[in-house]
């Protein structure tokens, strides 16, 4: 029997994300057993939740390095036959007027903001030469619809969690500048921020490597730990546990509430 085989993979990156996922699993009566595979290394056996076999995997932070989200998604999908990946953890919010620390963000799509054209702008006697970033709005990658619906339905049943659905910026930068974030939003939304964007993070873009864009298998679910400003480090330290806990709670309650069979999740 292959203990790795499952229907849903839950990915997390940091120690706090792992700890809060484990704590929430314990509260909900879900196992979180450390296992080790000779080929892939450590993973966590979470048994059958609802009607789905679930395993959890830690990645490195970000998307692009060995054992970061891209490589782990490819390796574990091949080994487990999973049909869905849920990346859980913490992210930055965008709009303080409608968002709070600990609110949960669910990706309807992600935008890989590192993927851009850098064009030269010739200077003149009034302005030195410079450059500009050109983003293609078509480069939105949509999440798996069934997973977004599952999470949306769960959020409607749980009034203790504030949930926002929309687009997530995803890339390699740890953003600690409101000026950079404002400029980025203006670039990707034709000067109409926030343009449906609800936050940003670093791991989701790696999941694009694991599947065809026309047949996505992923969704990103993250709690707000900061707002990408000069207080980012202090805010993450203060709010990361709440952010990670709320994201984990939404994900596990959503999977618990599934009445679909594993076969239905494949479609």
The pLDDT value recorded for residue 264 is 45
pLDDT digits (tens, 9 = 90+) for 220-241: 999 999 999 999 999 999 999 9
Give the chain's domains with CATH numbers: 8-266 (3.40.50.1580)
Question: What pairing do the DSSP bridges indicate for beta strands 163-170 and 52-58?
Answer: unpaired
Find residue 35's DSSP bridge partners: 43
| pLDDT tens, residue by residue, 7-51 | 999 999 999 999 999 999 999 999 999 999 999 999 999 999 999
pLDDT category of residue 122 using cuts at 50, 70 and 90: confident
Beta-carbon count within 10 A of 69 CB: 32
Instruction: Decide if pLDDT at 137 tops 70.
Output: no
**What's the whole-model pTM score?**
0.91
Name 69's Cβ contacts closer than 8 Å, sequence gap at least 6.
Answer: 11, 13, 59, 60, 62, 63, 87, 203, 204, 205, 206, 207
d(CA 95, CA 196) in angstroms, rounded, equals: 11
Averaged confidence pLDDT in the chain = 92
State the Cα torsion 196-201-208-182 to the nearest 10°: 50
Give the CA distances from residue 44 to residues 21, 30, 53, 55, in Å, rounded to whole numbers and listed in that order.
11, 11, 12, 6
At residue 191, the pLDDT reads 64
Instruction: Write the secondary structure of the chain as one string of H (helix), E (strand) and C (coil).
Output: CCCCCCCEEEEECCHHHHHHHHHHHHHCCCCCEEEEECCCEEEEEEEEECCEEEEEEECCCCCCCCCCHHHHHHHHHHHHCCCEEEEEEEEEECCCCCCCCCCEEEEEEEEECCCCEEEEECCCCCCCCEEEEECCHHHCEECCHHHHHHHHHHHHHCCCCCEEEEEEEECCCCCCCHHHHHHHHHHHCCCCCCCCEEEEECCHHHHHHHCCCCCCCEEEEEEEEECCCCCHHHHHHHHHHHHHHHHHHHHHHHHHCCCCCHHHHHC
Is residue 2 very low, low, confident or very high in pLDDT (cuts 50, 70, 90)? confident
């Amino acid at each position: 029997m292959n203990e790795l085989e499952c229907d849903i993979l839950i990915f997390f990156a940091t120690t706090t994300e792992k700890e809060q996922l484990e704590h929430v699993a314990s509260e909900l009566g879900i196992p979180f057993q450390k296992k080790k595979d000779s080929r892939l290394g450590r993973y966590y056996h979470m048994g059958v939740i609802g009607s789905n076999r679930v395993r959890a995997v830690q990645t490195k932070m970000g998307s692009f390095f060995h054992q970061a989200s891209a490589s782990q998604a490819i390796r574990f999908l091949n080994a487990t036959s999973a049909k869905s990946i849920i990346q859980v953890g913490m992210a930055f919010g965008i709009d303080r007027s409608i968002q709070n620390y600990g609110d949960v963000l669910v990706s309807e799509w992600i935008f890989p903001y590192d993927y851009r054209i850098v064009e030269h702008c010739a200077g003149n006697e009034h302005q030195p030469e410079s450059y500009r970033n050109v983003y293609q709005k078509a480069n939105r990658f949509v999440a798996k619809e069934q997973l977004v619906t599952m999470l949306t339905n769960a959020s409607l049943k749980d009034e203790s969690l504030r949930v926002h659905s929309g687009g997530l910026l995803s890339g390699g930068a740890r953003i600690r500048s409101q000026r950079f974030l404002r400029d980025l939003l203006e670039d990707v939304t034709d000067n109409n921020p926030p343009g449906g964007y609800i936050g940003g993070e670093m791991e989701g873009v790696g999941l694009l490597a694991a599947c065809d864009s026309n047949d996505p298998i992923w969704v990103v679910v993250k709690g707000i730990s900061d707002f990408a400003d000069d207080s980012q480090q202090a805010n993450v330290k203060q709010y990361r546990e709440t952010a990670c806990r709320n994201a984990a709670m939404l994900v596990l309650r959503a999977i618990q509430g599934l009445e679909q069979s594993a076969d239905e999740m494949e479609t």
